[in-house]
A and B are shown apart, each in its own frame.
Chain A
Amino acid sequence: RKEVEQDPGPFNVPEGATVAFNCTYSNSASQSFFWYRQDCRKEPKLLMSVYSSGNEDGRFTAQLNRASQYISLLIRDSKLSDSATYLCVVFTTDSWGKLQFGAGTQVVVTP
Chain B
Amino acid sequence: GAVVSQHPSWVICKSGTSVKIECRSLDFQATTMFWYRQFPKQSLMLMATSNEGSKATYEQGVEKDKFLINHASLTLSTLTVTSAHPEDSSFYICSARDRDDGFSTDTQYFGPGTRLTVL
Query: A residues near B, CB below 8 A?
Result: 2, 4, 8, 31-32, 34, 41-45, 87, 91, 93, 95-104
Contacts and interface: CB of A to CB of B under 8 A. Distances in A.
A71 to B, nearest CB: 14
Contacts, number: 52
Interface residues of B, number: 24
Contacts of B44: 44, 87, 101
Interface of B: 32, 34, 36, 41-46, 49, 51, 57, 91, 93, 95, 104-106, 108, 110-113, 115
Contact of A98 (B43, B46, B110, B115): B46
Contacts of A103: 41-43
B106 A42 contact: no
Nearest to A34: B106
The 6 A-B residue pairs whose C-beta atoms are closest, nearest first, are: A91-B106, A103-B43, A101-B43, A101-B44, A43-B110, A32-B106
B104 A42 contact: no
Contacts of B49: 95-96, 98
Candidate in B41, B42, B106 with the most chain A CB atoms within 10 angstroms: B106
B93 A104 contact: no
A92 B36 CA distance: 16
A41 B115 CA distance: 8
Given A87-B43, A87-B44, 16 more contacts: A2-B43, A4-B43, A41-B91, A42-B112, A43-B111, A43-B112, A44-B93, A95-B57, A96-B49, A96-B51, A96-B57, A97-B104, A98-B49, A99-B95, A99-B108, A101-B36
A97 B43 contact: no
A99 B106 contact: yes
**Most central of A41, A96, A102 by chain B CB within 10 Å:** A96
B13 to A, nearest CB: 19
A32 B105 CA distance: 10
